[in-house]
A and B are shown apart, each in its own frame.
Chain A
Amino acid sequence: MSETLLEPLLRASAETFVMVAASASIAIAAGLPLAVALVVSAPTGLSPRPVLHRALGLVINVGRSTPFIILLVAIVPLTRWLVGTSIGTVGALVPLAVAATPMTARLFEVALSRVDPATIEAAKAFGASRWHVISRVLVPEALPSLVASGTVMVVNVVGASAMAGAVGGGGLGDLGIRYGYQRFQPSVMVAVVAVLVLLVNVIQRVGDGLARRLERAS
């Protein structure tokens, strides 16, 4: 691999890393409360709110069913308003976070609803308020599966971030398309894919290891 290729590859990797880390963090921060709201408002949940539950579910489904490439373009005005630009790493961050949030909410919903209902009942019996049940039982008990779900989500965001390259989003996808595809440099394409494969593997390993360590307690 030539010197001239190494430098853009490193820069693109760093951009991808920043994009994925930032948008995944936002998705977790927004997705966890949404998931909690879904589980708590469910008909058999801690405080059933069927209308809210269905409305939330609908919004999340709309978010999830919109293809990322369409979402990317559709929310350009929102992106401009939020971060001042719709291109580059920062410009790709907003649509990535918006796309990852509903997915995270659904994944976390599954993780939370696997918590043994008896432990929630027990907490209530011992004088836990609703907030206590959520913060001391529901989320902590689900932590290992939340981490495992989060890993799936992050890997998904890595894939989506490569797509953001198509609209000038920066990062590895951008590099691959511009050099590899448009300039006919297959070696760049191969290098980009290799870096992505490596990145995904590292993420999966770290996530699995963390989930297992959290699980070991039980």
Chain B
Amino acid sequence: MIRLERITHRFGVCPTVLDDVSLEVPRGERLAIIGRSGSGKSTLLRCVNLLVRPRWGRVVVGETDLLALDEHELSIARRDIGMVFQHFALLGRKSVFENVAFPLELAGRSAAETKQRVDLLLSLVGLSEVAHRFPAQLSGGQRQRVGLARALAHEPRVLLCDEPTSALDAATAEEAVALLRRLSVELDLTLLVVTHDLDVARALADRVAVIEAGRLVETTPASAFFSGPTSAAGRRLTGHGSAPPMPFPLVSEARSRAGVGPSTLLTVSLGPGTPRGALIETLATRFRLGVEVVGGHLDPVGPHTVGQLAVLAHGEPTVIRQALEALSAQHITVEVLGHVRDAA
């Protein structure tokens, strides 16, 4: 659906903003583009509808090579690409209705056709009651929904979202993400979401692309990404690699040579491939070890639960070794940090 080939861009004489970025997004996919501020992720998003015209590279949306179009052809091609903005970008002197009608008016649709479409869009985002209010009279969440309805005016196949939740409070952001998710399914949208909020990426994305200093350093399916990013930049963003929160005295004891004892301190990484319940079932039921979870964090990603746990296993060293082998056979990554005296 979207093909970006070797996109390279800089503004004026500034250092390169985007450096040889190639990215393909199949129809119906929801892709989150994450990265730190200034990494170039918003610029990359703007290359898809040529709000930023890259110095080099190719931008293909559907079957159309956008860089080959003249101004008029481009304005028509852009109707197929909706966009939601960080600060909503609503017209302050137009009502909610007029804001949503704006793209249709630009395209020269008749008043009757426009009214019908806008009424439908406003009911889709739950704003029919406030159609005649002005943006300043709405809450942040409502404004973002106006922006979303406006972006969907021409029934686009692609929806670009630039930090759609960063101007919203946490609860409203969650609602906005749920709405985006529902509409992307109902309307079969190809979704590109630029965000620095990992929760948004987690709740929305099928795949995650990581941009660092203008380079695409990783594109990974979301479930795999959140259990362990492959790039250093990805790990920095998700906080992987730093140890899961666990009792510090235990860790230092396990890591010191003095640490000897019947309990083994493990970190266990649960990925999307981990069979549900396999960890406890293997350690406690099959090998009859004492199991104590002493730290860690877990996240739901789609149907999976991923993350890292710090676990104390109590039992015979040989049994523990056998149990760990059984775990790795089930694709559960285990790292032995060391041994400690009984926690009790």
Contact = CB atoms under 8 A, between A and B. Distances in A.
Interface of A: 116, 118-119, 121-130, 132, 136-137, 140-141, 143-144, 214, 217-218
17 contacts: A116-B89, A118-B86, A118-B89, A119-B89, A119-B90, A125-B81, A127-B76, A127-B106, A127-B154, A129-B75, A130-B71, A132-B106, A137-B91, A141-B92, A141-B93, A143-B93, A217-B95
Nearest to B104: A126
Nearest to B79: A127
A218 B135 contact: yes
A137 B92 CA distance: 10
Most buried by A among B81, B87, B94, B136: B94
Given A118-B86, A123-B106, 14 more contacts: A119-B91, A121-B89, A122-B83, A122-B90, A124-B78, A125-B49, A127-B103, A136-B105, A141-B91, A141-B93, A143-B93, A217-B93, A218-B92, A218-B134
A130 B135 CA distance: 24
Interface string B61-78: 000000000011001101
Contacts of B72: 129
A121 B135 contact: no
Interface residues of B, number: 33
B78 A126 contact: yes
Contacts of A132: 106
Contacts of B150: 122, 126
Interface of A is mostly: helix
B91 A126 contact: no
A128 to B, nearest CB: 5
Contacts of B309: none
A31 B81 CA distance: 37
A141 B136 CA distance: 13
B102 interface: yes
B153 interface: yes
Contacts of A136: 102, 105-106
B107 interface: yes
B93 A125 contact: no
Contact of B85 (A122, A137, A214, A218): A122
Most buried by B among A124, A125, A143: A125
B178 interface: no
Nearest to B78: A127
B120 interface: no
Contacts of A127: 75-76, 78-79, 103, 106-107, 154
A128 B90 contact: no
A129 B94 CA distance: 19
B146 to A, nearest CB: 11
